[in-house]
Structures are given as C-alpha cells and as structure tokens.
Amino acid sequence: MNHRDRGQPTRPVATLPAPPRYFPVAADGYRMRPGLRPLGTDVGAGALDGTLFQFHSGFPRYRENKLRCRREDYTRYVGASRLPGPVAAHVARFLAARLATEWPELFVQEPLGDGGVRLTCTLTSEVLRFGSAMEWVGLEAGVSPDPPYRDAWDALACQIPEDLAVVCRAPDATDWLAAVHVCAPSDWAPEEKLGLEFAAVHRPVPGIAPLLRASGVLVDGMIRRPPTVRLVWGLAPDDRLNRHPHAPGVQRQIPRFAAQDTDSPPAYLRVERQGIWGFPAVDAALFTIGVTVTDLRRIREVPEQCTRLAAAIRSMDAATRAYKGVGDGDELLAWLAQNREAHGNGA
Ligand code: HEM
C-alpha cells in the first residue's frame, strides 16, 4: 500500500513557491554580527519565512545534491560524534513531527500500534518507518538510495532541502558539534568540524574573536531560547550547492575577470538562512542551513542592491574579503561600478 492508497494528500513540486531571493547585505557596510531574529520574522521570503523548513520548487536540486554527496563519500558529509541516544531520538521525533505540522500537504505522520512512527513523504514518494525509540526500521515504500539510509538522521535529512547539524552540551557546560548532515557547506568541511566545540568550529572566521568570547552565552541561547533565524552571505564563483573544500572541482575564489565582461557573471551571491531550534529537555539544539544562490548580474540590475554590495566589499579588510570569497575585491568593485554609472547612481 502506498500513500495514495491511504488517501493522503499530495502536492506536486511544481506547485511549491519559488525559491527565496534573499539580499541580506546591510546598508551600513559589512560587520561580523550574530543577527539572530525570532523564527517567523519575514527576512525577505514572505510566507516562506514562517516555517523552519522551506520547501520550494527547487527541492529536486537539493535532494539530488544530497544523494550525490552520499554516493561520492558518505563520511565527508554525514556523521555523528558522541551523539547521545536520547538526543538522536528527540531530534528524529522533532523532525518527523515538524515536517508534518509545517507541511501537511507534503508529509503525513502516523503513530503505529507498536509505538513506532510512519512518515509518508510525498515529494520523494518514500514511506519511512521508525521504531518506538525513533530508531530507523526501513523504507516501507520508495526506491532505496545508494548507499541505503543508515539511520533516522540520514533518512529524515534526505527529505529536507536544508542541511542539518546538532549541537550538544554536557553537564559541565562543554558543548560539541554532535551530528552533521551537511551537503551544501559554504567552503568548510563538515567532517573536520564534527566533535569540536562551538568556539573551535568558528575559529577560522576572521574578526569573530569578540563573538566567541560569548560562545557559552550563544550556545545557551541556542538551547534554551525560542527558535531563531539568521541570514549569512558570501560570494562564490559558481552556483553549485556543494562547496566542500575537498569535493571534486570546487574552486574557492572568484577567478580574475574583466570589468567589461558582462556576459559571464563574475560571481554568485550565496545566502544561508540558518535556523536554530533548541531542545532544553536534552540539552541540545538543531541547526539548519538553507542555501540559495543568485547570479550577480541579477543583483547588478538593482541599483540599491548594487550600491549596498559595493559598500560592503569596500568596508571589508583583506582577510574578510578572502573569507567571503571576494578575492581582492577590486575587479568586482569595478564591475559593480559600471552598473551604478549605467543607472546614473554613482554613490
Ligand atoms: C548562535 C548561533 C551561531 C552564530 C551566532 C554563528 C555565527 C557565525 C558567524 C558570525 C560566522 C561567520 C560567517 C558570517 O556569519 O558572516 C559563522 C561561520 C560559521 N559557522 Fe556559525 N554561528 C552559529 C551557530 C553555528 C552552528 C550551530 C554551527 C554548526 C555547524 C556553525 C557553523 C559555522 C561554520 C562551519 C562556519 C564557517 C567556519 C569556517 O569557515 O571554518 N555555526 N558563524
């Protein structure tokens, strides 16, 4: 029996909203900031900002990227480190319930007589079966990916466009990155961050030291405060989702280009919508990362955005420019300036 036989709702992917087009570049130049807002705040995507998980018409691309990463080298993208069983169960239970609550036309959750749970996922045509402790039982319907789902974390993450991570905290207040399912990392290696504490995860970021002095407070807030979102942006030389530094073909910085070269875009704006949902009952938090990528030519057409981006690049020091993928920034500034001149806006 499949989900259609059970008379459950379905919604074709083509009827989902278009992917969000965020532009989180501040008007007052670039500064390193936490920028946490309550989940549900419209940060540029309207109704889609009301949910933790954002299902949009681009879903097949995100799903295919996850399956490709798992085939390429599973442990490069997915793993756990000292993840306590109760936390794994709590997170899996949350994910299944949240999907069914936020997107009832896409996910249906059924409690089973033996205490287990069945989750019907219409976009992937898969029916997932979990045991009474949310342990992975197997696929009841659908075609198993290669490699097959290893656990509930893996099976659930593959139904969701966002990447996922779990932060845990021990009774002595030390924290660590306990689980990752990250297939669209923005130039970092999930398997190298696994097991590290919050401060160590963030140490390579230029200018982040002041923020890290409050890392205990940030982690506490992640676990105990109501859910939040933050937007982060950088530039990338292409629109690929997976920017793992060791993945085949990933290029870090924007290649050199001529400012006059309007045909090929020099770069893409890469935005992450990060969601944080705390689980005080198990001293842990879920971290979600939703990536969207916009061709810089689209940004250059909008004078206000073009001016803001140029101001942000100008305000960055060399280390931040390199970290944000801007390179030395001068070619990009010249390319953006052409547009401001074209629009008579030389700000
Ligand atoms: C309160 C929550 C958090 C805050 C305020 C925060 C803040 C930041 C900031 C300011 C950056 C620099 C990039 C930018 O935002 O401009 C950053 C980078 C990063 N964050 Fe977070 N973060 C948070 C939670 C997390 C969590 C839970 C993870 C776990 C995966 C994480 C992983 C990373 C990684 C991997 C980078 C890039 C580091 C690198 O380049 O090596 N962050 N974060």
Closest C-alpha residue for ligand 1 atom 26: 287
Exposed, middle or buried by CB within 10 Å (0-12, 13-18, 19+), for 117? buried
**221 pLDDT higher than 90:** yes
29 against 173, higher pLDDT: 173
Lookup: tokens for 98: 């949240």
pLDDT in tens, 11-31: 788 889 999 999 999 988 888
230 against 15, higher pLDDT: 230
The answer to whether the beta carbons of residues 205 and 109 sit under 8 Å apart is no
Task: Provide the whole-model pTM.
Answer: 0.93
pLDDT in tens, 248-297: 988 877 776 666 666 666 789 999 999 999 999 999 999 999 999 999 98
207 against 11, higher pLDDT: 207
Residues whose beta carbon lies within 6 Å of some atom of ligand 1: 32, 34, 165, 167, 177, 188, 193, 201-202, 204-205, 208, 211, 218, 222, 232, 276, 287
Closest C-alpha residue for ligand 1 atom 17: 202
Q: What is the DSSP string of 17-82?
A: PPPP------TT--------EETT--SSSGGGGGSSS---TTHHHHHHHHHHHHHHHHHHHEEESS
Taking the centre of ligand 1 as the mean of its atom positions, its distance from the CA of residue 290, in whole angstroms, is 13
Mutate to test the pocket of ligand 1, among 202, 246, 252 (most ligand atoms within 8 A of CB): 202
The mean pLDDT value for 194-215 works out to 94
- Tell me which DSSP letter residue 261 carries: -
